[in-house]
Structure 1
Amino acid sequence: MILDKVVTNGVALDVPAHMSVGQTFLDKVREYVNIAVGLKNLGVKPGDVVAVCGDSRSEYIAAAMGAVCCGAIATFINCLMLAPPVVVFIAKSPLVEKYDTSSVEGIWCGAAPLSEQTMEQLRRRMPNFKKLIEGYGMTETTMGVLKCIDEIEAKRGLRPIPGVKVKIVDCETREKLGPNEKGEVCVKGPHSAVADCGVVGKPDEVAGELPTAFVVLKPRATVTESDILDFTATKLSPIARLRGGVIFLNEIPKSPSGKILRRLLKQKLLERD
């Protein structure tokens, strides 16, 4: 029986007051059992591996526990997506030594290059570590601009991912520059009607924030909000889609160095509400 796999307790959970939700451990167990029954009806059998992808919220725990309750295997993590400071911490901190990291085979990392010393320390600490994928990007693209798939390739430089074009232009004239010339990195994605964009979080009582895009169209472009939403929906996971909508602007506010001023975009959101 599924219920035999869990221990029940009627004591109330300590739930943050701002959630305005009251639950007991027994309530949570019922959630686990309902999910377990649903997975069983879908054909999940004891020994199957179930992958659960979601936010850091109670529903994620319920889904994971439901999978365990129906006999599915809770597998170890074999790939990590980390920022450089976290990679350095894992490579050097003595606190990590008490944990089993033997399942980790690959790491995705962006924002800054990793030193050879850090990589060597990672290999010693993670016996099955095989591949590092480094990437370059920005808030709107994460690592979706340039990447390399191994350390040898990283020494030669990162390459644009499929569907992305990258060039260096003069900051004043906007003319394309050649190798070893100093300028601004310009990235072009696959949508031919978008000249520029910026994404910020729109406050939401349930989700916390919803991705909202401010878009500058190219001259004579006739793209609508629905067009942008449909286009991005085919390329993003549900949680990353523009659930906060699309707002068209004539210009994205930027600092003198070219960095998007997201505080001004958020201010525009508040003014619209």
Structure 2
Amino acid sequence: MNHPATGIDTTRFVELNDGAHPVRIEYQWLNAERTDAPIALFLHEGLGSIALWKGWPQMLCDRLDCRGLVYSRPGYGRSTPRRREERWPVEFLHRQAHDVLPALLDALGIGAEERSRMWLIGHSDGGTIALLYASAFPEALAGLAIMAPHVFVETMTVEGIEKARSTYETTSFRDKLAAYHDDVDSAFYGWNDAWLNPEFMHWNITEEIATIVRPLLAIQGYDDEYASMLQLDAVETAVPHTRLVKLTQCRHSPHRDAADAVNDAIAAFMASHRT
């Protein structure tokens, strides 16, 4: 059922087999009644969830005249938490792009025709997942708009994630983040331990994403505390048809720090590529 004022569908759950263990995925439709409209699928950041997006996906979908699909990845939000003994491997983002996301689309009955009209909207880790999906399934989407993606590991990224761990363990940040996750330690340490794994320093997907053929918009702020503009430049080198938007007075979350500029850029980009 849709909320009468906003068109936001109530949160639902779907069961997937995530490797050896079944998981429950929390998802939500926006503007669900628009079955004729293309889908904008939102991929959240490393500590994100449906709830942490807040109202931005609905705002953007209304601007784009799209249906929206928002979900919390395993380990986040109200989806199945990460098992306490589980340590996500270096390839954890590949697993989300190559296995979990396609399985979710299958479970929701989103077929090839709908996928070919689907736009991916990804932030941070979600932007990386969008890139990996688009490179692995080059025809199974219409295009993608990503914000603050990671395609290789910079020293400043590791330093920012180490600082986040200290903040989580010594301040009220954990309590604030707990409002968005059923198991906040699952979300935080799954992400934090993976990025601080020494093996992750060698992670680099710049060659892999060169197979992307669909329209690609990449957005980042100059004041991003987790990465430099070398990330966007590397994306453009790998995928020369990329459209870059570099924002001043903007940190790691462009959709929060510069929402109007981001919405304008995504709307103009999609309009220029939609048939």
Structure number with greater CO (CA < 8 Å, separation at least 6) is 2
Structure of higher CA gyration radius: 1
What is the TM-score with the length of structure 2 in the denominator? 0.28
| Higher fraction of helix | 2
